[in-house]
Amino acid sequence: MTTAHIPAPSTRAARAAPWWRHYEVPTLILAVAIYAAWAALVASHGALPGWLLFVLGGYLAQLHFSLQHESIHAMRHLPQWLRWASVWPPINLWLPYPLYNRGHSAHHVNFHLTHPERDTESAYHSAPAWAGYGAAWRWIYQANQTLAFRVVLGPVLRLYKLVRGEVGRIYAGDFSHVGIWLVHALSVAPVLYYVIEVCGMSLGKYLICFVYPGMMLGALRSFTEHRWSDTPHERVAIVESNLLFGLLYLYNNLHHVHHRAPTMPWYEIPVHFRRHRAAVLAGNGHFYYRGYSEIARRYLFRPVFAPVHPKW
């Protein structure tokens, strides 16, 4: 697909953008709203039933993760320190923002999309790696291609991969990430102080009602947004969902639009898709789902694709 298929805003239009667009006002307002809602929800945790805290806590945790994703790509009119500061508080606890920033940036080399070793977010495995797995790991990775496993236990696999990689890095004599983790620990401390000391929520409850459901919602979004195709842009899906999930993912569910125009602000993505729907779907080979309910119907207990990469 060539860039002519999806018109891009002209340079003149970009210069004529309103002041609120230039200063990223919608995104900054969203950031303030997320932190205010998070603080209020944690403070009122004792008055809410567990299931509601699980739903709302997970939603806010994933929404914050989506905001971090936005800061990597967009918010370009703001200085880097402000982009980073607006998303730095680690309310998700588990992933340092610099590591997410670095890994996700590598993911956006479109030619390498789905590559088991070069794409940091690939769910594929190379044939040599697969041959080296034992029967148990093969079963786990096969099950991880179903939506039920990916959402419920996928976060455990992701944490395992993170810990294994970081520990392996230290054993190999590479201490380049130690400073990142130390700063992350210092950043986590005030978050947990507010959660535990100020609001009286146990760490276990916070992990169960905020961190883990947030990771589950992240696993839902990423479950089938990429697949192998000879054409790089046909490896990126469009999931046309409702406002609830669109806002949750800051319209990253319209993923092909994001990969074609990574710096496009979240609030412009659905407008762009509606205006150029036919061209967008032609460009990604109609790799399209009507919503997450369709994905669940098709792949809840059935593998979305074979885990061994068909080419790499």
d(CA 74, CA 22): 11
Stretch 257-285: mean pLDDT:
95
**Taking a C-beta distance cutoff of 8 angstroms, is the pair 115, 122 a contact?**
yes
C-alpha to C-alpha distance for 96 and 79, rounded to whole angstroms: 20
Overall average pLDDT of the 58-81 stretch: 93
Q: pLDDT per residue over 83-124, tens digit each?
A: 999 999 999 999 999 999 998 888 888 788 999 988 888 999
Mean pLDDT estimate for the chain: 92
Is residue 5's pLDDT more than 70? no
Q: ∠ CA 112-280-125 to the nearest 5 degrees?
A: 25
- Cα angle 37, 39, 40 (rounded to 5 degrees) comes to 65
Determine contact, residues 101/90, Cβ cutoff 8 Å.
no
- The pLDDT assigned to 33 comes to 98
Average pLDDT over residues 49-62: 98
Query: Which pair of tokens denotes residue 237?
Result: 């899906």
CA-CA distance, 24 to 67, in Å (whole number)? Answer: 12
Place of tokens 């990253």: 252
The answer on pLDDT for 9 being more than 80 is no
Look up residue 248 and give its amino acid: L
Alpha-helix residue ranges (DSSP H) falling in 121-242: 127-132, 135-143, 147-152, 154-171, 178-192, 203-206, 212-222
Residue 297, pLDDT > 50, answer yes
Q: What local confidence, expressed as pLDDT, does residue 87 receive?
A: 95
* Average pLDDT for 143-160: 97
- On the question of pLDDT at 66 being above 80, the answer is yes
- DSSP reduced 3-state for 13: helix
Task: Give strand pairing partners of 308.
Answer: 125
Q: Please tell me the predicted confidence (pLDDT) of residue 77.
A: 84
Global confidence as pTM: 0.91
Mean pLDDT of the 63-83 span: 92
The CB density around residue 7, as the number of other CB atoms within 10 Å, is 11
- The secondary structure of 112-127 as a DSSP string is GTT-TTT-TT---B-H
Q: Tell me the Ramachandran region of residue 24: left when phi exceeds 0, alpha when psi lies from -120 to 50, beta otherwise.
A: left
Q: Using CA of residue 67, residue 73, residue 77, residue 81, what is the dihedral sign?
A: positive
Q: Is the pLDDT of residue 266 over 90?
A: yes
- Tokens for 26? 């919608």
Confidence label for 15 from pLDDT (cuts 50, 70 and 90): low
